[in-house]
Chains A and B, each alone.
Chain A
Amino acid sequence: MAQTTSGTVAAATPGTGVATVYDDAIVKMFFTAAVGWAVVGMLVGVMIALELAWWPANMGIPQITFGRLRPLHTNAVIFAFAGNVCFTGIYHSMQRLLKTRMFSDVLSRIHFWGWQGIIVLAAVTLPMGMTQSKEYAELIWPIDVLIAIVWVIFGVNFFGTIARRKVKHLYVAIWFYMSFVITIAVLHIVNNLAIPATLTRSYPVYAGLTDALVQWWYGHNAVGFFLTTPFLGLMYYYLPRAAERPVYSYRLSILHFWALVFLYIWAGPHHLLYSALPDWAQTLGMVFSIMLLAPSWGGMLNGLLTLKGAWDRVRTDPILKFMVVAVSFYGMSTFEGPMMAIRSVNALAHFTNWVIGHVHSGALGWVGMMSFGMLYWLVQNLWKRPLAHPKWANHHFWLATIGIVLYTVSMWAAGLMEGLQWRALNDAGQLATPAFLDITHRLNPFMWIRLTGGAMYLTGAVMMAINFWQTIRGPGAEVSPTPVPVAAD
């Protein structure tokens, strides 16, 4: 009954002797979308990085000025790239973990096409300046309605699959997926409540600081439940698979799961430190952010210690390399985050490029590298072929790693520099650099370094896409490349 090769799509259903056939076609669809949107989203990222280094790059075209393109970047990388990666991994792993086909093939397809449709609508409306202005909730209200509908469809499919599972116990990856499905629904609906004025414009039901608090409750938990918990779920399934080791500690996974989902929700106000938000709310945001370090590192340790006994393979296997770097960056950015949530540190970091450095150490390091690791593992298992260019995976790894280092280090340097210079006073107690632009100009070299790092990261992603294309389309014979899994089935 246990799968003999990880690529197997059929598993005998216990007690019935009837083979369950997994729906891998839907997994391949999400997989393809994830790879395509990765390239698009990162290309837009490189474009806005160029505009910050050299403003004329917008060529005077309204649709691609910084203010209109930046939301396209964030939406494309979060909802299109990271979103499709999560769906790929969830549809693939949950069928296997629960030993059943997805609840409904029709709902799976509505979910897929609905989600891609939403992304296309986003790519059209955002450059046209149609936006609600709330970060990561920019999409206009009719698209928000579509998102809610598609999300509910996904939810029905998800819980329907759980209901008809052939395995009694829910594996830890499923817990994390579940927190993703539930929390994103709640966040999305509450944050987007608005009164429509026209088909493309609406005004929120909340005003002023209440609106700001609701938005950052949403914004921080979009990070928590879109870029963190589903990826931890992916880590819990694919890291043991790739390493061929069982998860290090079951008890640790219970503790850090519940602590993480409980604590995350409180931390939103760390985005509003030193605003006129009441002190008690700011303090709660700060204290809970600091506490968040513990469950975050619990997850990191559980991931890294799973590799116990497999470290020799980490040196040679690019998939494990991607995953190890991902988990390490997860640890790093969840150490940095709580530090930045301390008021006096935030006084320096807020509004600066430091935040951008933090964002991308999480986004490029954790989300991106985890995705790449999973995608390289999946392409060989889904299509049952070895990579067309095995060496390229290694080149991709190094391009991405060096790219992240250039990106984050330059942004930390720029952030510290501007933070210190904005506040520096001279002996007379007056501003040492009163002209804002003087400070902006000193940051320019860092903007070029970031652009270089981003371009390297993008190049790696393009190599991956070509590699996958040639693997899938190439003449390669069907083989079972990855050996027998031991854990998590």
Chain B
Amino acid sequence: MSDEQKHNESSKAYGRFHRRVLEGNGALFAIATTVAISIGALVEIAPMFSTTSLSWQRADWVTPYTPLEVAGRDIYIREGCYLCHSQMIRPMRSEMLRYGEWTRAAEYQYDRPFLLGSRRLGPDLQRVGGKYPDAWHFEHMRDPRSTSPGSIMPTYPWLYRQKYDPADVAKSVRALATAGTPYTATDDASVAAALEAQADKIVASLATTSIQVAPDDEIIALIAFLQRLGTEGKKHFAQQAAQTSEAAPAPAQGTPSATGGGQ
């Protein structure tokens, strides 16, 4: 039996409609397909741009990444760290014990691109900022086995040879500003000054453990980025906890849309 015959056999009304109207008209078929794939997309994505949605994704206790952190974040992306490390703590007891308070939407508000990750070949890094001293990261990135025996993380010796370029970082800052990140000073000179000020602090902290390093080495930018991760959240939750312990019963934390509520 040929396929043609098979087609003609269809007796149901939708079968006849499909055969006569859609299958005979390529343009109509294409339009129908486009409509079918657009509905779900619009229903789910469009509300993300509504003002209510944008407001629950915002909080004033989160600030944009500094230029040095932007440079570090770009290195994090370049090396594909996000393929082994998530930045998303789920609202479950075991996760919060291991990594800290679950991640709020607003904590991602300046993340372009987002770096939630989909794999945990290594631990979550959402709140790794402040967990270790700068010197720990300095040693760990050069040879993870030196701080974490048996680690499967690669070594990154080239971060100690390659340098970030302030003019290049300024371009990133300007692109981010165009995309909507509220940076005020985006000219080369201001960005270079901000980079230097923050890098010098890290160099100084490393010097206390007698590590000598140039302020424009890539590792400095990466440390700046890692050390900032989740710190604003930690500070905010601590303040909130202090307030609620003064003012009796605790209201639910976080956004009203908070998921799941843990396990």
Contacts and interface: CB of A to CB of B under 8 A. Distances in A.
B210 interface: no
Interface string A205-220: 1111111111101000
Interface string B227-258: 00000000000000000000000000011011
Give the contact-size bracket for chain B: 35 or more
B41 A207 contact: no
Contacts of A183: 33, 37
B119 A351 contact: yes
B39 A262 contact: yes
A202 B178 CA distance: 11
Interface in A325-369: 343, 347, 350-352, 355-356
A169 B174 contact: no
A479 interface: no
A480 interface: no
A385 to B, nearest CB: 28
Interface stretch (B102-110, B131-139, B201-209): B102-110
A52 B113 contact: no
Question: What band does the interface of chain A fall in when counting residues whose beta carbon is under 8 Å from B?
Answer: 35 or more
Contacts of B93: 425
A201 to B, nearest CB: 7
Contact of A170 (B23, B117, B152, B157): B23
B113 A133 contact: yes
A68 B3 contact: no
Interface in A58-110: 58, 60, 62, 65-68, 70-71
A95 B118 CA distance: 40
Interface stretch (A113-121, A276-284, A312-320, A455-463): A276-284
A9 to B, nearest CB: 21
A168 interface: yes
B57 A208 contact: yes
Query: Which has the most chain A C-beta neighbours within 10 Å: B24, B26, B103?
Result: B26
Interface of A: 51-52, 55, 58, 60, 62, 65-68, 70-71, 129-135, 159, 162-163, 165, 168-171, 175, 178-179, 182-183, 186, 194-198, 201-215, 217, 240, 246-247, 250-251, 254, 258, 261-266, 268-269, 271-272, 274-279, 281-282, 284-285, 288, 343, 347, 350-352, 355-356, 422-425, 430-431, 434, 436-437, 440-441, 486-489
5 contacts: A133-B80, A203-B175, A209-B48, A211-B111, A285-B44
